[in-house]
Amino acid sequence: MDEFGYLSVLLSIIIGLSVTQILIGIRGCLLTRARIRPFWPVHLWAAFFLLASSQSWWAMFGLRHRHDWDFGDFVIVLAQAVALYLVTGLIYPDFGHEQQIDLRAHYFRQRRHFFSLCIIMLALSISRDLVLDHRLPAPANLAFHVIFMAFAATGILSGRESYHKVAVIIVSGIFVAYVVMLFTHLQ
């Protein structure tokens, strides 16, 4: 096993836990649907982060040729995966109780933490390129990061429901274009 093959095991586990968080949330919604007050942006963020988790794992393949790993390099990549996991853990509430579940109320209770973690995750992604490649991401890649960070910062500041509904649609659309433009083939 080469260096990255070894390191990618832990990264893959954490990204797998991110996917698990979302799937457990979807399962919880299905099992408790009679007790749920729905809020569709939550489900769109779940779909967004399923795609983001998949893209993160997919893009990790580009690191396979790197053989000069040090602990700092690994920590920045690991921190990005951990931030992704923490963001996905905030999308859905815990479903273990026998009470009504209001997805809108949960979303707005968690929005500051959710979007703060999005900004941290994006900053770590940019930092990863700086640490591993000693340069900023390619312009299209950096542009997506900056746009998503701007939407996330506004999401922290704005409690307007209409903003959050529009933002998730726009960010999701931009992210799909981002993935299609930059990540359709393994590199």
Encode pLDDT of 47-81 as tens digits: 999 999 999 999 888 898 888 999 999 999 999 99
What is the pTM assigned to this prediction?
A: 0.94
Q: Partners of 36 in the beta sheet?
A: 101
In a domain, 91, yes or no: yes
| 187 in a structural domain | no
> Which residue range forms the structural domain that includes residue 112?
3-182
Q: How many CB atoms lie within 10 A of CB 78?
A: 16
Residue 35 lies in a domain: yes
Q: Is there a contact between 19 and 51 (Cβ–Cβ < 8 Å)?
A: no
Burial class (CB in 10 A: 0-12, 13-18, 19+), 128: middle
Is residue 110 domain-resident?
yes
Q: Report yes or no on 72 lying in a domain.
A: yes
Query: Tens of pLDDT along 133-161?
Result: 999 999 999 999 999 999 999 999 999 99
Total tally of structural domains belonging to the chain: 1
Is 47 within a domain?
yes
Residue 141: which region, alpha, beta or left (left: phi > 0; alpha: psi -120 to 50)? alpha
Looking at per-residue pLDDT, the higher value among 97 and 23 belongs to 23
138 in a structural domain: yes
Residue 96 has pLDDT above 80, yes or no: no
Phi and psi angles of residue 130, each rounded to the nearest 5 degrees, phi first:
-65, -40
Token pair in block for residue 92: 């859905």
Gap between the Cα atoms of 63 and 157, Å rounded:
36
- What is the chain's Cα-based Rg? 17
Neighbours of 135 (CB within 10 A): 8
Query: Residue 7 in contact with residue 74, Cβ under 8 Å?
Result: yes
Give every CB contact of residue 184 below 8 A, 6+ residues apart in sequence: none
Residue 175, amino acid: F
